[in-house]
Amino acid sequence: MKVAVVGATGLVGTKMLQVLAERNFPVTEIVPVASERSVGKEVEFKGAKYKVVSMADGIAAKPAVAIFSAGGSTSLEWAPKFAEAGITVIDNSSAWRMDPTKKLVVPEVNADVLTAEDKIIANPNCSTIQMVVALNPLHKKYKIKRIVVSTYQSVTGTGKKAVDQLFNERKGVQGEMAYKYQIDLNVIPQIDVFLENGYTKEEMKMVKETNKIIGDDSIKVTATTVRIPVVGGHSESVNVEFENEYDLEEVKSLLSSAPGVVVQNDDATQFYPMPLWAHEKDEVFVGRLRRDETQPKTLNLWVVSDNLRKGAATNAVQIAEYLRSKGLL
């Protein structure tokens, strides 16, 4: 299968090429696509070098699927052009996520909504993906009423410029700033721009995307998203209130058997999820499972995942895998 990766030279695009190779997606030809300034550069896929081509040349190559990670404005302009050429687009930007005509998909949760007619498919926000993978099996059993989530997000979620800022600060070197403030030895309680309601765009993404993916607008979600000086891996403290009573051992059992979830929950040995352990892995790791003692039917949990993999590249590739397995590609 001919596969295009749009934004192939960026952090997520590079990770997409890596994940396609590692998961042995049946690629007959890879078509790396990027902006005009990157055309002619080389990227590596399975030990071979490929020259980056322009958007127009990417369409002309007629890939079966194009996995986009090139920013919202690029997706709004080019995804429809790829789709018009009969190419299935899986888009990692925020451009199409809340479009009512487009599907927003996490394969472990709602892949069954996809049809052959879906030519532009939205990949959710990284912080939303890991949370819904962990919570969906619990929602099916106990029905979620309300979620309170605080995130601890890696600088890789911002991109290479932010990673460079962190390491420059660590070395005492002046350099370009991705953030308004120092990130090393600091915590920044802002991800994306502020909206009129006082929440950031990232926080409201988590609210709206959770409802759309799980398919239940009655679930109340409130979020605080925070950037921390970590490279590779988002962490989340999640407090979830159910309509029905739960049993903690049953919760552990449900999570242990849920697709894409790994439970790391042993207080005696101080075993719990951390970005250090989630790095370069595709699963969502869950631990610190405990009852909220301040109100009934409420659970606390800690959720960690590699934001460049499951939070972006892996989820997009898994969508392509699902489409192929159902004969939709």
- Residue 232: the pLDDT is 87
> Tens digit of pLDDT per residue, the chain (329 long)?
999 999 999 989 999 999 999 999 999 999 999 999 999 999 999 999 999 999 999 999 999 999 999 989 999 999 999 999 999 999 999 999 999 999 999 999 999 999 999 999 999 999 999 999 999 999 999 999 999 999 999 999 999 999 999 999 999 999 999 999 999 999 999 999 999 999 999 999 999 999 999 999 999 999 999 999 999 899 999 999 999 999 999 999 999 999 999 999 999 999 999 999 999 999 999 999 999 999 999 999 999 999 999 999 999 999 999 999 999 99
DSSP element (H, E) containing 131: helix 126-142
Total-model pTM: 0.96
Domain 2-124+312-325 -> CATH class: alpha beta
Question: Do 2-124+312-325 and 127-307 have matching folds?
Answer: no
Q: Where are the domains of the chain?
A: 2-124+312-325, 127-307
Q: Would you call 277 exposed, middle or buried from its count of C-beta atoms within 10 A (0-12, 13-18, 19+)? A: middle
Give residue-wise pLDDT tens across range 159-201: 999 999 999 999 999 999 999 999 999 999 999 999 999 999 9
> What are the contacts of 71-78 at 24+ separation with CB within 8 A?
71/7, 74/6, 74/7, 74/35, 78/6
Question: If you count them, how many residues does the chain have?
Answer: 329
At the topology level, CATH places domain 127-307 in Dihydrodipicolinate Reductase; domain 2 (3.30.360)
Angle at 37 between CA 19 and CA 32, to 5 degrees: 30
Give residue-wise pLDDT tens across range 52-63: 999 999 999 999
Active site residues: 126, 234
Report which of 135, 153, 295 is spatially closest to residue 219, judged by C-alpha positions.
Answer: 135
C-alpha torsion 169→173→174→175, nearest 10: -80
